[in-house]
Structure 1
Amino acid sequence: MDESLRTAARVGNISELYTLIHRNGNVLRRLDKVEFIETPLHIAAEEGCTRFAMEIMSLKPSFARKLNQQGLSPVHLAVEKGHKEMAVRLLEIDTGLARIKGKNGETPLHYISRFGNCDDLLDKILEASPDCIRDVSNQNRTALHMAVENKRLDVLQVLIGTLRKKDYYRETVNRKDEEGNTALHLAARNNQLKMVKLLLNCKADRQAKNQDGLTALEVAEQHNIRESVIVLRGFYIPLVSNFSHQFDKQIIKYATKASSLIFHDMENISEQGRNTLLVILGLLLTATYQTSLSPPGGVWQADCSSSSPGSKLIERRKSPGSIGTAVMDQSYFLMFYSLTYIVFIAAFFLTLALLKPFPRGIRNTLQLLLAFLTLCFDQSISTIAPTFLIAIILRTFSTIIFVFMLFMCIKYKVSKLSVSIVGCWIFPSFSLSILAGGVVVGAIQGFLLFLILYDEFGKEPCMDESLRTAARVGNISELYTLIHRNGNVLRRLDKVEFIETPLHIAEEEGCTRFAMEIMSLKPSFARKLNQQGLSPVHLAVEKGHKEMAVRLLEIDTSLARIKGKNGETPLHYISRFGNCDDLLEKVLEASPDCIRDVSNQNRTALHMAVENKKLDVLQVLIGTRRKKDYYQEMVNRKDEDGNTALHLASRNNQLEMVKLLLNCKADRQAKNLLKFQIGCTFPNWLHISTKSTRGE
C-alpha cells in the first residue's frame, strides 16, 4: 500500500484519499489483486476513523471481506479495538460480515466473546445475523466456549438468551470442541459457578463426556472444585437424564432428515439429457452463425447499381449499397440481427454450462473454440452491416451482451476463459471504432488475447516449499508469515484443477488445526483432487484420521460424495481400509444417500466391503440400507462384471457375509457375465468354485 494512503487512512483524511485517487485512478484497485493484504479499510477500522471507513466502503465494498496478513477482517479489528459504531456501520451495509472467519476460524462473534461486550455490540451483531451463534472456530469452539473460557458472564447471558429462542439451542449448548469439551466442561473446570447454573438451566447435558471420558462433574471433582460439584450433582436420575437426551437427539436427527428431503437440491441432468441438449445447442449455434454468412436477401454484388465502385471500410459506409453488405432494409437488419445475437449468445452460455463436467483439457479447448466462434460471428455481422451507424448500434448491443456475460461469469461461474476472450474482442471494437483505425483496434485485441491465453495456459502454479513444510508440521504461524510475504500464496493454487494443496498435506499428516485454518481461508481446497485423484477427505479416511474427516464433513456434508480416482467416494475408501473409530457412522449421518454412489466399475460400498473382507463395515451398511426404500435394489446392484455383493462373498468364502446378504433379500438367482455373457447363478458359481478348489 502507498504510504500516503496508509497515513490518510490512519488519520481519516478523506480529502487526501481523493487527492491520491486523482493522481492514480487505480490506487485502490491494485490492492484487490492480492488475496490477503492490509487495506485502508483495515487501518481505518483499527483506528476508529468511521467516516473514512464508510468512504472506502462506498468505493471498494470488497475490502470489507478481505483478511489482512494476520488473518483479520476490518470487522474483527473494529471489535478487537472496541469501536462499536464502526462495527455496527459495517454490519448495516453487509450483514454477512458477521460470519466472516479469520485466523483460527474465528468470527467477530468469537472476538466479542473473547474481548467483551463493548457498549452492547453483541446485541447488534446477533440482530444483524442471528445464526452466527452456530459458527465454530477451527478448534470446533462456539462463542459459548469462548465466553466461558474468557470468563465473560455478560456475554454468555446474552448468548443464552438468544439461543433459547432457537430450535437448535440444545445442539449448540452441547457442542463439543476438538477435545470433546462442552461449554459446561469449561465452566466446571474454571470454577465459574454462575455460568454452570446458567448452562444447566439451558439444558446443558450433564452426561456429556470429553475425549478423556470425563463428564463436567468428573472434571470439577478432578480439580477439587466443591461448589461446581455440588451444583452439578443436583437432583437428577442419570438414567432418566440420559434417556431424555437420547430422545431429543433422535427428534433433532429426524427433523433434519425431513428438512433435507423437502429442500434437497434437484439432481444434475443425466448424461443422456446433456448429450441431447448439446446437439440442440450445436444446431442453434450453426443456424445463427449461418445467417451471418448468408443474410436473408443476400449481399450487394460487384455489378450492383451502387454508387460505390468497391467495398468500403466500415467507418466509411454512410449509405447502404457497399459491396459485400446486406441488401436488407436497415431497420429489418437491426431487428433481425439483434434477435440473432440473443439466440447465439444464449446458446453459447448454455453450451459453456453443459461443458463444466468435462475433463479440464477438453473443456478448455472447447471453450476456447467457442469463444473464437463468437468473435467470428461478431466480426461477420459487423462486416455485412449496411452502414457505419448500424455497425455502431450493433457494437453497442454486443457491448451490452458482454456486460451481461461478465455478470453471468461472476454470478453463475460460467467459463472465465471464454468470457474474457469475447470481452477483450468486443469491448475494444466498441470503444475504439471511432477513435482509431482497424489496425490499432486489431493490435489491441491481439495483445489482450495473448495476455489471457498466457495467463490460462502459460503458467503452471506450484506450491511453495515453505508452505508445504508448514502444512506438514501444522505450523499456523508460518502460514500467516507466508501470507504476509505474498497475499496470493493460496490463490494461485486455485488455478490448477488437479493439485496438491496445503489442505491435502494437513489431512494426510493429521494436522487438524492447520487444516481448519486453511478451510476458513480457502474452502474450495476441500473439493480439489490431487495428482493422484484424491480429495482431502479421501486422504483423511485412508490415513485413519477420524476427527479430521468428521470436521470437514461438519463444514460441508456434500464432501462425502466427492468422487476421486476410479470414481470412488470416501465411503468406498472406508469399505476398503476399514471403519476406524466408527467413522462410517459419521459419514452416513452426514450424507445418508452416499450409500447409493457407485465407482467407475459400478461397484457400491457393499461390493468394496465384501471384496476387502470388512464384515464390520458390511454390517453397518446393511443396517443403514434396511431403513431405505431402495435397499433391495442396492443389495442386488451388479458391477461391470455382473457380480452382486453376494457373488463376491461366495467367491471369497465369506460365510458370515453370505448369510448377512441373504437375510437382506439378496437375489440368489442373479447372474453375472462369466464366460462370454453365459449366465452363472450364485449356487452354480459356488459349485464351480468348489470343484476348482478340489482340482476337478
Structure 2
Amino acid sequence: MEAAAQLRDTNALYSLIRKDPYILDNFDRIPFIETPLHAAARSGNVELAMEIIRLKPSFAKKPNQDGFSPMHLALQNGQTQTVLQLIDTDPELVRVRGREGITPLHHASEDGDLYLLEKFLSVCPKSLEDVTNKGDTALHIALKNDKVEAFQVLTRCPPSVIGLKEADQCYNKRILNSKNRDGSTLLHIATSKNQVQIVRCLLNCKVEINSLNSDGLTPLDITLLDQTQSRNQEIEDMLRSAGALEATSLPIKANSTNLLRTDQRLNEAAQAGNVDALYELIWEDAYLLDQIDQVPFVDTPLHTAASMGHINFALEIMRLKPSFARKQNQYGFCPLHLALQKTHTQMVLRLIDVDRNLVRVQGREGVTPLHYVAEKGNVDLLCKFLAVAQSLSCR
C-alpha cells in the first residue's frame, strides 16, 4: 500500500495492479486511509487522479486518517485543475464533508476563492445548504472571515438558489435567515463585524431583523454592546430604520416563536404533516434529528406521522433518518406498530415498501407487525406480510 500511495504515473499504477489485482480493493476496505487518489490530488497529478477515480470511484469520497477527502487535499494545496477535473467527474464532490463537517464549498468560502465558488455553485447549487459541525453555511463562513466579495458571489450565483424570482422567495428566506449552532444569523455576524455593505444588503433582502442568538441578543443588541471605537453608528441607524429592537423591547408576540420549545414545534409539524416546517426547524438546528436518535426510547416525528397517517411527512423523515423506523417509543412500539394500531393501511404499506425488514421488528412483549396482523385477523395485510417475510428468508 505504501508503494501505491507513492505512485507517480499511470504506468506505475497498472504495474502494481498486475502484481496484485486486489490492491485498490484493499484500500477500499479500510474506512480511513490515504489512498493513491489522495496522493495524486495533493500533488496535482490530474492524469493519474482521473485514472484512479475511473477504476475506483469510491476513493473520491473516502476520508484519510486526518478526515480529508482527495478534493479537500487538492484545495488545501492549490491544485485548482485537479479540483475542476474532480467535480467534472462528480459534481456531488462539492458536498463531501471532511473534518469538522467542512465541505469544499466551505473551504473555498473561507479562502475567498471567487472563481471556485462560482464553479461549485454552478455545478451543485444545493451545496449552499450544507453546514459544518458548528452549523455554519458557506455564507456564515464568508462573513466570519471578512470575505465580503465571496459573500456577494454566494448570494448572486446561481440565480436559482439565491434570487429574486417569486418561486425562490421561500428558499431565499430560509438561507439568509439560517442560524448556526450559536444561534447567530448572517445579520448577527455582519453586525458584529461592522460589515456595513452586507448589513445593508441583508436588510434590503428583508431578513428577520429581531432574531435572538443563543445569548438572547438581537443584531441591534450586538451593536449597542460594542463599547469600542469600532462601534458603527451607521449600522445602528440602518437597523433602527428597519425596525430593529433590543431583545428587552421585543413584544411577546414577536418573540413567541423563540420561546416555543423546538421539540413542541417539531411535534406540531409532525401532527400536521408539514414538511416545510420540518425543514425550517432543521435549518435552525442541523442536529435536531440526531439529538432525538440519541434517546433510546422516544416518540420520534416518524412515530407521530405514522400514528396520524401523514404519509409524505413519514417518508421524508424515514429518508432523513432511517433508524427512526426501528426505534421504540416509551411504550415499546415502533412507528409501524402505531400505524397498524390506527389502521392506517396505506401508511403501513408505504413503510414496508421502503424497508421490508420492518415486518420483523419486535415491539412490546416481542410482538412484531406480523404477529399483530395475525392476531387481528387482517387477511390482506397478513398475506402481504407473509410474502415479504418469505422474500426475506429466501435471501
Number of the residue aligned with 1:164 = 163
Aligned mates of 2:238, 2:321 — CA distance in 1: 35
Aligned mates of 2:75, 2:234 — CA distance in 1: 32
Residue correspondence of structure 1 range 434-449 to structure 2 within 5 A: none
- The alignment's TM-score, normalised by the length of structure 2, stands at 0.63
In the alignment, structure 2 segments of 5+ residues that lack a partner are 258-267, 277-284, 301-316, 343-363, 365-395
Aligned mates of 2:58, 2:236 — CA distance in 1: 52
Q: CA deviation at 1:568?
A: 4.4
CA displacement 1:13-52 (0-9 Å, x = unmatched): 2222222222222221200100111111111111211111
Is the Cα–Cα contact under 8 Å of residues 537 and 559 in structure 1 kept in the other structure? no
When the two chains are superposed, the root-mean-square deviation of aligned CA atoms in Å is: 4.1
2:181 pairs with 1:178: yes
3-state DSSP of counterpart to 2:182: coil
Number of the residue aligned with 2:235 = 229
Q: Residues 238 and 123 (structure 1 numbering): CA distance in 2 closer, same or farther, change over 3 Å?
A: closer
Number of the residue aligned with 1:206 = 209
Q: Residues 204 and 93 (structure 1 numbering): CA distance in 2 closer, same or farther, change over 3 Å?
A: same
3-state DSSP of counterpart to 1:28: helix
Aligned mates of 1:198, 1:218 — CA distance in 2: 19
Aligned mates of 1:540, 1:69 — CA distance in 2: 35
Residue correspondence of structure 1 range 187-198 to structure 2 within 5 A: 187-198=190-201
Number of the residue aligned with 2:85 = 89
Aligned mates of 1:145, 1:154 — CA distance in 2: 13
Q: How many aligned residue pairs are there? A: 292
Is the Cα–Cα contact under 8 Å of residues 223 and 236 in structure 2 kept in the other structure? no
Aligned mates of 2:200, 2:333 — CA distance in 1: 45
CA displacement 1:631-659 (0-9 Å, x = unmatched): xxxxxxxxx9xxxxxxxxxxxxxxxxxxx
Is the Cα–Cα contact under 8 Å of residues 112 and 122 in structure 1 kept in the other structure? yes
Is the Cα–Cα contact under 8 Å of residues 188 and 228 in structure 1 kept in the other structure? no
2:154 pairs with 1:155: no
Is the Cα–Cα contact under 8 Å of residues 318 and 325 in structure 2 kept in the other structure? no
Q: Residues 56 and 246 (structure 1 numbering): CA distance in 2 closer, same or farther, change over 3 Å?
A: farther
Q: CA deviation at 1:228?
A: 5.5
- The alignment's TM-score, normalised by the length of structure 1, stands at 0.37
Residue correspondence of structure 1 range 125-140 to structure 2 within 5 A: 125-140=120-135
AA partner of residue 233 (structure 1): L
Is the Cα–Cα contact under 8 Å of residues 144 and 159 in structure 1 kept in the other structure? yes
3-state DSSP of counterpart to 2:338: coil
Q: Residues 78 and 537 (structure 1 numbering): CA distance in 2 closer, same or farther, change over 3 Å?
A: farther
Number of the residue aligned with 1:606 = none
AA partner of residue 180 (structure 2): D
Aligned mates of 1:541, 1:161 — CA distance in 2: 41
Aligned mates of 2:193, 2:243 — CA distance in 1: 25
Residue correspondence of structure 1 range 577-656 to structure 2 within 5 A: 598=338
Aligned mates of 1:128, 1:245 — CA distance in 2: 39
Aligned mates of 1:564, 1:51 — CA distance in 2: 51
3-state DSSP of counterpart to 2:48: helix
Is the Cα–Cα contact under 8 Å of residues 566 and 599 in structure 1 kept in the other structure? no
3-state DSSP of counterpart to 1:181: coil
CA displacement 1:463-507 (0-9 Å, x = unmatched): xxxxxxxxxxxxxxxxxxxxxxxxxxxxxxxxxxxxxxxxxxxxx
Aligned mates of 1:190, 1:554 — CA distance in 2: 40
Residue correspondence of structure 1 range 188-587 to structure 2 within 5 A: 188-224=191-227, 225-227=231-233, 229-237=235-243, 535-538=293-296, 556=320, 562-564=326-328, 568=332
Q: CA deviation at 1:209?
A: 0.9
Aligned mates of 2:299, 2:173 — CA distance in 1: 30
Number of the residue aligned with 2:5 = 6
Number of the residue aligned with 2:351 = none
AA partner of residue 206 (structure 1): I
Q: Residues 187 and 99 (structure 1 numbering): CA distance in 2 closer, same or farther, change over 3 Å?
A: same
2:68 pairs with 1:65: no
Aligned mates of 1:48, 1:76 — CA distance in 2: 12
Q: CA deviation at 1:188?
A: 1.2
Aligned mates of 1:213, 1:554 — CA distance in 2: 33
Q: CA deviation at 1:200?
A: 2.3
3-state DSSP of counterpart to 2:141: helix
AA partner of residue 230 (structure 1): E
AA partner of residue 89 (structure 1): Q
Q: CA deviation at 1:555?
A: 9.7
Aligned mates of 1:258, 1:540 — CA distance in 2: 19
Q: Residues 233 and 60 (structure 1 numbering): CA distance in 2 closer, same or farther, change over 3 Å?
A: same
Aligned equivalent of 1:122, options 117, 125, 133 = 117
Is the Cα–Cα contact under 8 Å of residues 217 and 228 in structure 1 kept in the other structure? no
Aligned mates of 1:151, 1:201 — CA distance in 2: 20
CA displacement 1:160-186 (0-9 Å, x = unmatched): 113125440111111111111012111
Aligned equivalent of 2:73, options 77, 81, 85 = 77
Number of the residue aligned with 1:473 = none
Aligned mates of 1:559, 1:26 — CA distance in 2: 33
Is the Cα–Cα contact under 8 Å of residues 188 and 218 in structure 2 kept in the other structure? yes
Q: CA deviation at 1:561?
A: 5.9
Report which of the two structures shows the higher radius of gyration computed on alpha carbons: 1
